[in-house]
């Protein structure tokens, strides 16, 4: 169940809400760290909770491949397997279509994936996708969608949109059938819009899916190579077409700039490997812009990663020089400390956003933050 708590003035764009699931409440706008294979790389569940994480997202197809549903079910479900007590979203695997090491073929039945582990081919249908996520015991499941590469021909994108809509209908029917036979508990099911950057296809996708009874809506097929202004144009066009009383989830987006710009357009939920992958490679979020901690000047700086930061890394006194030393020596500790900092940074950013939406000063906050952040970015 989703409830809007505050909307910014009368424009009904930026808003604060709460999504209630079987494993707790998610304050929105929310950012989900990515736990693709059942873990967020280098950090523990306790550390995620300590920085304010209320929800993570895993990949149902990859978990189906390894370790397999039988092992996870024998452990009591994905929550118990991961030792994660809070909410879990799972993606369907549709995004893996744009990765040549995964994708083999698509037809009206579903997607034929190639396992990255042994090369074996697997047909994943919309019904399989729903059943898998139900067996995992997750809180929010995503339908199987046909995700296209940026720059694909319009006719090809049109077919993908039509298949995504047809699969969405079949997904709801499968969930309804499981409900009738008493399968319990059942996740909330989200539809996913597609259409690339074609506004007419995006409109058709949204209009078709919103006639179906989904608990929320993902916005898929963005942040995969298109220009930023094109992504924002699609969002400004698409978000108003989605129901106001249901959560809107922009898939695969997680930079501070994109979060703030998308929240301003009415998006509620985000996920991305951006903060964790970048941290492991030395890109550190700070209020004065991202820095590449691997660069030589930082090897001599005895200051913290970010002044005033309340994360474990900074409050424990780990310096830029030390993090530089760790990462240049490929230390797991360095990756852990950088990841904790970046995830804390985003969670604190969204906490501030929720407060500023509630008191009516979000746009002032957004302008001040981005002006400061962009000046120092990528030093």
Residues 260 and 291 in one domain: no
Residues 19 and 139 in one domain: yes
Residues 54 and 36 in one domain: yes
Residues 327 and 310 in one domain: yes
Q: Stretch 168-186: mean pLDDT, rounded?
A: 95
Measured distance CA(131)–CA(1) in Å, rounded: 21
Measured distance CA(284)–CA(172) in Å, rounded: 41
- State the DSSP H helix or E strand holding residue 52, giving kind and residue range, or none if neither: none
Measured distance CA(215)–CA(49) in Å, rounded: 25
Strands 103-107 and 110-114: antiparallel
pLDDT at 13: 87
Q: Residue 201 corresponds to which tokens in the numbers above?
A: 């296809």
- Final residue before a domain boundary, out of 223, 255, 272: 272
Measured distance CA(149)–CA(162) in Å, rounded: 16
- Find the catalytic residue in 91, 128, 145, 258: 91
Whether 378 has a pLDDT exceeding 60, the answer reads no
Q: Cβ of 223: how many Cβ atoms within 10 Å?
A: 21
- Using an 8 Å Cβ cutoff, are 57 and 32 in contact? yes
Where residue 366 falls among pLDDT bands split at 50, 70, 90?
very high
Q: Residue 344 corresponds to which tokens in the numbers above?
A: 């804390």
DSSP 8-state secondary structure symbol assigned to residue 85: -
Share of the chain above pLDDT 90, in %: 91
Where residue 99 falls among pLDDT bands split at 50, 70, 90?
confident
Residues 109 and 159 in one domain: yes
Contacts (Cβ under 8 Å, ≥6 apart) of 146: 94, 97, 106, 111, 159, 160, 161, 163, 164, 167, 194
- 209 SS3 class: helix
Give 280-306 pLDDT, tens digit per residue: 999 999 999 999 999 999 999 999 999
Measured distance CA(323)–CA(305) in Å, rounded: 9
Residues 303 and 259 in one domain: no
Q: Stretch 167-188: mean pLDDT, rounded?
A: 95
Q: Work out the burial of residue 50: count CB atoms within 10 Å of its CB; fewer than 13 is exposed, 13-18 middle, 19 or more buried.
A: middle
pLDDT at 44: 98
Name the residue range of residue 68's domain. 2-272
Contacts (Cβ under 8 Å, ≥6 apart) of 166: 108
Q: Cβ of 7: how many Cβ atoms within 10 Å?
A: 17
Whether 82 has a pLDDT exceeding 90, the answer reads yes
Q: Stretch 101-121: mean pLDDT, rounded?
A: 88
Residues 238 and 292 in one domain: no
Residues 233 and 334 in one domain: no
Residues 220 and 361 in one domain: no
Strand order in the sheet with 55-59: 30-33, 269-272, 248-250, 216-219, 188-193, 140-142, 87-91, 55-59
- Cα four-point dihedral sign 97, 102, 103, 109: negative
Residues 189 and 303 in one domain: no
Give 63-75 pLDDT, tens digit per residue: 999 999 999 999 9
Residues 220 and 110 in one domain: yes
Where residue 251 falls among pLDDT bands split at 50, 70, 90?
very high
pLDDT at 327: 98
CATH of the domain at 22: 3.20.20.105
Measured distance CA(299)–CA(101) in Å, rounded: 38
Measured distance CA(172)–CA(190) in Å, rounded: 9
Measured distance CA(221)–CA(252) in Å, rounded: 9
- Using an 8 Å Cβ cutoff, are 138 and 152 in contact? no
Where residue 83 falls among pLDDT bands split at 50, 70, 90?
very high
User: What's the number of domains the chain is made of?
Assistant: 2
The pTM (predicted TM-score) of the whole model is 0.97
pLDDT at 10: 59
Residues 258 and 289 in one domain: no
- Final residue before a domain boundary, out of 215, 243, 272: 272
pLDDT at 331: 98
- Find the catalytic residue in 128, 145, 271, 290: 271
Where residue 102 falls among pLDDT bands split at 50, 70, 90?
confident
Whether 376 has a pLDDT exceeding 80, the answer reads no
Catalytic residue list contains 271 = yes
- Final residue before a domain boundary, out of 220, 254, 272: 272
Where residue 147 falls among pLDDT bands split at 50, 70, 90?
very high
């Amino acid at each position: 169940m989703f409830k809007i708590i505050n909307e910014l003035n009368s424009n009904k764009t930026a808003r604060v809400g709460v999504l209630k699931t079987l494993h707790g409440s998610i304050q929105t706008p929310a950012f989900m760290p990515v736990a693709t294979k059942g873990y967020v790389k280098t950090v523990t569940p306790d550390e995620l909770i300590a920085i304010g994480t209320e929800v993570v997202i895993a990949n149902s197809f990859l978990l189906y491949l390894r370790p397999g549903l039988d092992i996870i079910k024998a452990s009591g479900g994905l929550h118990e397997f991961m030792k994660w007590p809070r909410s879990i979203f799972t993606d369907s695997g549709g995004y893996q279509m744009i990765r040549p090491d995964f994708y083999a073929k698509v037809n009206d039945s579903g997607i034929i994936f190639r396992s990255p582990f042994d090369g074996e081919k697997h047909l994943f249908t919309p019904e399989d996708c729903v059943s898998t996520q139900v067996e995992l015991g997750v809180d929010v499941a995503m339908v199987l969608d046909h995700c296209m590469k940026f720059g694909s021909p319009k006719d090809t994108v049109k077919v993908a949109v039509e298949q995504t809509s047809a699969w969405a209908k079949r997904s709801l029917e499968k969930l309804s059938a499981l409900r009738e036979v008493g399968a319990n508990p059942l996740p909330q099911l989200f539809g996913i819009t597609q259409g690339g950057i074609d506004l007419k296809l995006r409109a058709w996708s949204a209009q078709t899916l919103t006639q179906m009874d989904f608990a929320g809506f993902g916005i898929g097929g963005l942040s995969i190579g298109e220009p930023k202004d094109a992504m924002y144009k699609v969002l400004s066009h698409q978000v108003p077409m989605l129901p106001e009383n249901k959560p809107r989830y922009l898939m695969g987006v997680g930079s501070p700039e994109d979060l703030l710009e998308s929240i301003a357009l009415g998006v509620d939920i985000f996920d991305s490997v951006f903060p964790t992958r970048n941290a492991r490679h030395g890109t550190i979020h700070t209020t004065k812009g991202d820095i590449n901690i691997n660069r030589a000047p930082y090897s001599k700086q005895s200051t913290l990663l970010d002044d005033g930061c309340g994360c474990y890394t900074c409050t424990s006194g780990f310096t830029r020089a030390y993090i530089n030393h760790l990462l240049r020596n490929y230390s797991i500790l360095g990756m852990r400390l950088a990841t904790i900092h970046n995830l804390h940074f985003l969670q604190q950013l969204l906490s501030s956003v929720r407060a500023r939406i509630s008191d009516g000063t979000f746009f002032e906050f957004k302008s001040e933050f981005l002006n400061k952040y962009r000046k120092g970015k990528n030093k």
